[in-house]
């Protein structure tokens, strides 16, 4: 942080925050501090009670101003660690005509992909998995759930199910699922993807660092081998503010 915090929130600055209720003035003061770089991306805000003291306002006023800025995505609350200035997102474009992996997509953009594992295990298939992956009830399915991160920015939550026949031991997947499937010579060559709009629920919003209710893209991908066997069924939730899916359209023979 480049400036004494108490100065950022001083009552003098606040009175320069235009007209309107106190919480609006405080919100504008905070917004301006981020805009001009007095508060930098990633900076932690002092506790609400300290801000209230610096600005000589009530904690209710501070909370209201911060709530608004969290809802706008300017600040982000992390459970247990406080409130931070959010990082601006850089939009990622994914071409819908190519069957690529997250790791490859990010590498092509010069970004480093990494994952935080939420779950990795072998299970009895659910009715959906049985139907989509063409599995019998007495077979197994590998499930891999990850928070996908590019250059330290969380972009998506993915829950992948892969037939146990193609991936009997999910613990072998450390970075890229597709790279592992390629090693086993069962990398998919075709996929069907369904994209729909959604609003983020609390748990997902927390993982992706966006406000509850923010726009998201819910994606289901079923991918296949050349033989027509389904390999992967993945349900993902992408940040709507960080991802553009681009489809190329050509005129078809009628």
Least spacing, CB of residue 209 vs ligand 16G, in Å: 18
Number of residues that bind ligand 16G (CB under 6 A): 14
Minimum distance, C-beta of residue 189 to ligand 16G, in the bound complex (Å): 14
Which residue in the set 236, 237, 239, 242 belongs to the binding site for ligand 16G (CB under 6 A)?
Answer: 236
CA dist., res. 62 & res. 72, Å (int): 16
Least distance (Å) between residue 168 CB and ligand 16G: 17
- Give every CB contact of residue 227 below 8 A, 6+ residues apart in sequence: none
- 166 versus 178: smaller Cβ distance to ligand 16G: 178
Task: Render the burial of 214-238: b for 16+ CB within 10 Å, e for the rest.
Answer: bebbebebbbbbeeeebbbbbbbbb
Residue 233 within binding range of ligand 16G, rule CB under 6 A:
no
Q: Which is nearer to ligand 16G, 63 or 235 (CB)?
A: 235
Structure tokens belonging to residue 48:
């609400």
| Residue nearer to ligand 16G on the CB measure, 29 or 101 | 101
Q: How far is CA 18 from CA 14, 34, 61, in A?
A: 8, 17, 16
Shortest distance, position 109 Cβ to ligand 16G, whole Å: 13
3-state secondary structure 57-95: CCHHHHHHHHHHHHHCCCEEEECCCEEEECCCCCCEEEE
54 binds ligand 16G per the rule CB under 6 A:
no
Q: Does 219 bind ligand 16G (CB under 6 A)?
A: yes
3-state SS, residue 55: helix
- By CB under 6 A, tell whether 160 contacts ligand 16G: yes
Stretch that binds ligand 16G, among 7-15, 58-66, 69-77, 175-183 (CB under 6 A): 175-183
How far apart are CB 243 and ligand 16G at their closest, in Å? 9
Identify which of residues 170 and 211 has a Cβ nearer to ligand 16G in the complex: 170
Strands (E), 112-207: 113-123, 141-150, 153-163, 190-199
Indicate whether 178 belongs to the interface with ligand 16G (CB under 6 A).
yes
Q: How far is the CB of 146 from ligand 16G (least distance, A)?
A: 7
The residue number with the shortest CB distance to ligand 16G is: 101
Determine, following the binding rule CB under 6 A, whether residue 65 of this chain makes contact with ligand 16G. Answer: no
Looking at 10, 139, 153, 176, which residue binds ligand 16G (CB under 6 A)?
176
Please classify residue 239 by burial: count the beta carbons closer than 10 Å to its beta carbon, then call 0-12 exposed, 13-18 middle and 19+ buried.
buried
Give the integer Cα–Cα distance in Å for 142 and 164.
6
Count the neighbouring beta carbons within 10 Å of the beta carbon of residue 76.
20
- The footprint of ligand 16G (CB under 6 A) covers 101-103, 158, 160, 176-179, 219, 221, 232, 234, 236
């Amino acid at each position: 942080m480049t400036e004494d915090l108490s100065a950022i929130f001083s009552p003098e600055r606040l009175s320069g925050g235009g007209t309107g209720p106190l919480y609006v003035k405080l919100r504008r003061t905070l917004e301006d501090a981020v805009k001009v770089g007095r508060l930098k991306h990633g900076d932690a805000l002092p506790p609400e009670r300290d801000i209230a003291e610096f600005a000589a306002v009530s904690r209710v006023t501070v909370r209201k101003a911060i709530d608004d800025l969290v809802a706008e995505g300017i600040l982000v609350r992390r459970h247990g660690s406080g409130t931070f200035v959010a990082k601006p997102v850089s939009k990622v474009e994914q071409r819908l005509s190519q069957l690529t992996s997250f790791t490859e997509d990010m590498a092509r953009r010069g970004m480093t992909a990494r994952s935080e594992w939420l779950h990795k295990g072998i299970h009895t298939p659910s009715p959906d998995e049985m139907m989509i992956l063409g599995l019998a009830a007495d077979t197994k399915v590998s499930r891999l759930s990850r928070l996908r991160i590019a250059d330290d920015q969380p972009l998506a939550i993915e829950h992948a199910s892969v037939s146990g026949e193609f991936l009997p031991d999910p613990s072998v997947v450390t970075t890229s699922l597709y790279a592992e499937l390629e090693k086993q010579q069962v990398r998919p060559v075709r996929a069907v993807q369904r994209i729909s709009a959604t609003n983020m629920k609390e748990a997902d919003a927390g993982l992706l660092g966006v406000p509850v209710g923010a726009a998201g893209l819910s994606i289901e991908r079923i991918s296949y081998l050349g033989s027509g066997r389904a390999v992967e069924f993945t349900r993902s939730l992408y940040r709507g503010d960080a991802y553009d899916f681009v489809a190329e359209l050509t005129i078809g023979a009628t």
